[in-house]
Amino acid sequence: MHTITPGSVVVGVDGSAASDAALEWAVDLAQTRHRPLVLVCGAGEPTATARLRDGRAARQALRMEARRLTDRALGRVRKIDRDLEVTARTPLRDPADALLDLADEASVVVVGTRGRGRVSSVVLGSVSAAVCARAGCPVAVVRPEADRDPDAPGPVVVGIDASDQSAPALDFAFEIASERGAALHVVHNWQPPHGWGQHGAEQQFTKAEAHQRALEIALAGYEETYPDVEVHRHLPRSSPVDTLRVLSETASLVVVGARPHAGPTAVVGSVSRAVVEHAHCPVVVVRSAPATTPLAHR
């Protein structure tokens, strides 16, 4: 039995500025893809003290507050689109768990985050961090800062490791670039091995050529499937986080892959986490399945 329409865009709402930014982004995606929108506000659970005093009343109070927040969010949606199909969920669940409960049926889960910084648990927020780490579907992280005009056109940027695990991120990036009529910048960072300076020019060229071939193999078939997408290839010899952060200054969206992790204490990968924390535009984290070791790490 489905709890939501499969393929819905799910967004977490809590009344904050970050939540409002995520809501607007989610509405735009739902409109573009003609998908239903699901507003989720995890009401939480009553404290032990509240349960002892009057558990029923405590649960009712939490539900009422959550419904107030989803009603507020619905009002914002209706100012943008009166006809968009929208439903709301206010379970007595931790906010992250409430979103994760729907992730398997969602096409995308959208969350807000407070800003950029060095400590993920503070900057990214516990809900956003948990959803990024554990959701099986793509997760979009949107922050409220106006680093650039949100309506200004910008390319989509996708960072890949050129292994077969890059496919889910590339699928998402090509699809959304096509929908938006945006150019797509495909970035495959690689760093020279230790002792690079001791290698001869021929060995250096061979290594660079191998990464170029890996990138072309990863992109095989996409440009035929999406002839409307203008593709730009990047093979920088630098940190992927630094490259994607710089490109995010003029991008409309950055897409990054993340390796799967299991269990409730899982954390999102170091590269994808750092990109989410430091990017100047929304970031979509796309989970990949276990597969081969990327060329850059061989």
pLDDT single digits (tens) 81-112: 999 999 999 999 999 999 999 999 999 999 99
| Inside any domain, residue 148 | no
How many folded domains does the chain comprise?
A: 2
CA dist., res. 58 & res. 41, Å (int) = 16
Q: Note down the domain range covering 216.
A: 156-297
Cα separation, 12 vs 99, whole angstroms: 7
Do 165 and 102 reside in the same domain of the chain?
no
CATH classification at residue 178:
3.40.50.620
Q: What is the pLDDT of residues 276-297, one digit of tens each?
A: 989 999 999 998 765 444 443 3
- 134 and 190 in a single domain? The answer is no
Given pLDDT bands bounded at 50, 70 and 90, which one contains residue 162?
Answer: confident
Mean pLDDT of the region 218-229: 96
| Interatomic CA distance for residues 82 and 117, integer angstroms | 37
Rg of the chain taking only CA atoms, in angstroms: 21
In the β-sheet with 37-40, what is the strand arrangement from edge to edge?
86-89, 37-40, 8-12, 106-112, 139-142, 283-287, 253-258, 156-159, 184-187, 231-234
Q: What average pLDDT does this structure show over 105-133?
A: 73
Between the CA of residue 286 and those of 66, 187, 207, what are the distances in Å? Answer: 28, 15, 28
Let me know whether 137 and 182 are in one domain.
no
pLDDT at 264: 43
Q: Are residues 178 and 137 in the same domain?
A: no
Q: Give the Cα separation of 281 and 247 in Å (integer).
A: 10
- Establish if 151 belongs to a structural domain: no
Pairing type for strands 106-112 and 8-12 reads: parallel
Least confident piece of the model among 71-75, 87-91, 192-196, 243-247: 192-196
Identify whether residues 262 and 286 lie together within a single domain: yes
Per-residue pLDDT averaged across 245-251, rounded? 94
122 falls within a domain = yes
Kindly state whether residue 2 falls inside one of the protein's structural domains.
no
Same structural domain for residues 90 and 24? yes
Q: Tell me, yes or no, whether 160 and 293 share the same domain.
A: yes
In a domain, 88, yes or no: yes
Structure tokens at 7: 């393929």
* Among 117, 142, 167, residue at a domain's last position: 142
pLDDT of residue 266: 44
86 and 17, same structural domain? yes
Q: Are 41 and 124 part of one and the same domain?
A: yes
Compare 198 and 165 and report the one with higher pLDDT: 165
In a domain, 211, yes or no: yes
Q: What is the pLDDT of residue 293?
A: 42
- Hey, which of 193-207, 231-245, 258-272 has the most confident mean pLDDT? 231-245
Choose among 131, 143, 122: nearest CA to 17: 143
**Does residue 291 belong to any structural domain of this protein?**
yes
Given 142, 169, 186, the domain boundary residue is 142
On whether both 89 and 60 belong to a single domain, the answer is yes
Query: Does residue 162 fall inside a structural domain?
Result: yes
Structure tokens at 51: 């349960």
Is 186 found in the same domain as 123? no
| End position of a domain, from candidates 109, 142, 175 | 142
**C-beta of residue 12 within 8 angstroms of C-beta of residue 108:** no
User: What is the torsion angle, in degrees rounded to the nearest 10, for the CA atoms of residue 66, residue 25, residue 19 and residue 286?
Assistant: 100
Question: At 120, is the pLDDT very low, low, confident or very high (cuts 50, 70, 90)?
Answer: very low
Pair 65, 100 in one domain: yes
